[in-house]
Amino acid sequence: MSPRPLHPSLAAGKLTMQSKLTRRYVLTTAITASTGITALVLSRSSSAGASTVISGKTFQGNRAADGVKGDGGEGLRAQSNSLIQNCKFLDLGNGGVRVRMPVDNLSIESCAANNLYRFLEVTSSDKSVPANLTNFVVRSVTAREVDRTMTRIRYGSHDGTIEDVKAFGSSRCDLYCVGYQLDGTAHDITYTRVEAHDFREASRPKDKYWNGDGFSDERGNHGIRYISCVATGCSDGGFDLKSADVRLENCIARANKRNYRLWNSGELLRCTSVDPHHYGGTGGKSHFSFHGDVKRYVIDQPVVKGSPGNSAPVFFFATKESMHLEIRNATIDAPDAPLIRVEGPEPVITWVPERDSQKIKVKRNRA
C-alpha cells in the first residue's frame, strides 16, 4: 500500500543537495525541486566544534498507511549541540528524530510530521550506555497520523522544554499509544501549550482495559510540569500521571475516558475537565480519578463541565490506601453526575472553603 496522503500543510518536493567547504563551515544548500526554495544545512567543521544546524530538509520514509511498528525507518539520528528547524518528517517508523546515545543541547523547532510511529524516540543503541537527552527543546512542532507516540523521553534525561507542540493520533493507533511519554528517571521537564488529540487504541478486545493517553509520566520521574496543555479524545487518561509532586496549571482535558488520572502527589491549578467519554473496554469514565498508592493532591480552582446525560463522577477514588485530597474554590456543573465515587478506602477530603460555599451543581453527593 502507498503512504498516507499528506496533510495539505506538508506537501513539498524532494531535495537536491549542493555542498561547499569553507574554512570554518561545511555549507550545504538544499534546493526544493518543486518550489526552488533554498534551505541551509550548516555544520561546523571539526576544527570549530560540533554545532550543527539542519534547516529546511525533508526526511522521507516509506511507511505505508497500514504500516506497523518501525516500518518506514528513522528520519535522522540526533547529535549534541544541534538545531533541527523547518524540517518535514514523512512516512517514518520508530523515530523521526532518534536519540540513540547521550545527547546534550538539542533543539527541534518549527517542524511538521505526518504518518509515523514515533516522532522523538529516545532509545539507546548500547544497553550499557543510557541515551540521556539533556538540556533540550522541542518547540512549534505539529505531527499528524501518529500511530504510537509523539515523544518518548526516558533514562535519566533532564532539563527539557516542550512547548507549542501538537500531536494527533491516527485512526489505527497501536496498543499503549500515548501522545507524550516520560519513563525511567527523566526529570525537570516542562510542557507548555502542548496538545495531544485522539490517542485511542484501535485493536484492544472489548473485554479488556483500553489504554491510550494524552500525557503520561511514571513514578521514577520528578520535577514535571504541565502548563496550559490540552488532551482530548483519548481512550484512557488525558493526563495519566504517576510522578511525585507533579504540577499542572491551566490545563484542559476533554472527552477522554478519565480526564485526569492521578497516582502519586501534586497540585492542579485552574485545570478544566469537560465531558469524559467512554470509547470501549472495561473501566468507567470520570473527571478526576485516583489510583494505586496515592499520597496527597491539591486541586485548586478546578472547572468541571458535564453535559446533561453525562454521568461520569467528578472525583473517583480507587486507591490502595486512604488518600488526602484538598479541593479549593471549585466550579462544578455536572447536573447528571455524582460528585464522589469510592471503590476502596475512604479518602480524606478537605474543602477550602467549606463544600457548601463552593460552586457545585451535581445530581447527588455520592454514587
Closest by CA to 181, choosing from 135, 234, 140, is 234
Block residue for cell numbers 528513522: 74
- Specify if 330 maps to a domain: yes
Whether residue 231 sits in one domain with residue 110? no
244-303: pLDDT as tens digits: 999 999 999 999 999 999 999 999 999 999 999 999 999 999 999 999 999 999 999 999
- Specify if 307 maps to a domain: yes
Mean pLDDT of the chain: 90
What lies within 8 Å, CB to CB, of 344 at 6+ separation is: 317, 318, 319, 320
Q: How many domains does the chain have?
A: 2
Confidence of residue 149 (pLDDT cuts 50, 70, 90): very high
Of 101, 122, 142, which closes a domain?
142
Domain span holding position 23: 1-142
Closest by CA to 288, choosing from 320, 325, 246, is 325
The per-residue pLDDT for 29 is 34
Q: Are 180 and 204 in contact (CB under 8 A)?
A: no
- pTM exceeds 0.85, yes or no: yes
* Overall average pLDDT of the 228-253 stretch: 99
Whether residue 309 sits in one domain with residue 198? yes
- Specify if 161 maps to a domain: no
- Specify if 168 maps to a domain: no
Whether residue 296 sits in one domain with residue 190? yes
The per-residue pLDDT for 245 is 98
- Specify if 327 maps to a domain: yes
Whether residue 187 sits in one domain with residue 111? no
- Specify if 158 maps to a domain: no
C-alpha pair distances (Å), 125 with each of 101, 128, 134, 287: 7, 9, 17, 40
pLDDT at 194 over 70: yes
- Specify if 207 maps to a domain: yes
Q: HSE, CB side, 13 Å, CA atoms: give it for residue 273.
A: 35
How many Cβ atoms are within 10 Å of 209's Cβ, its own excluded?
14
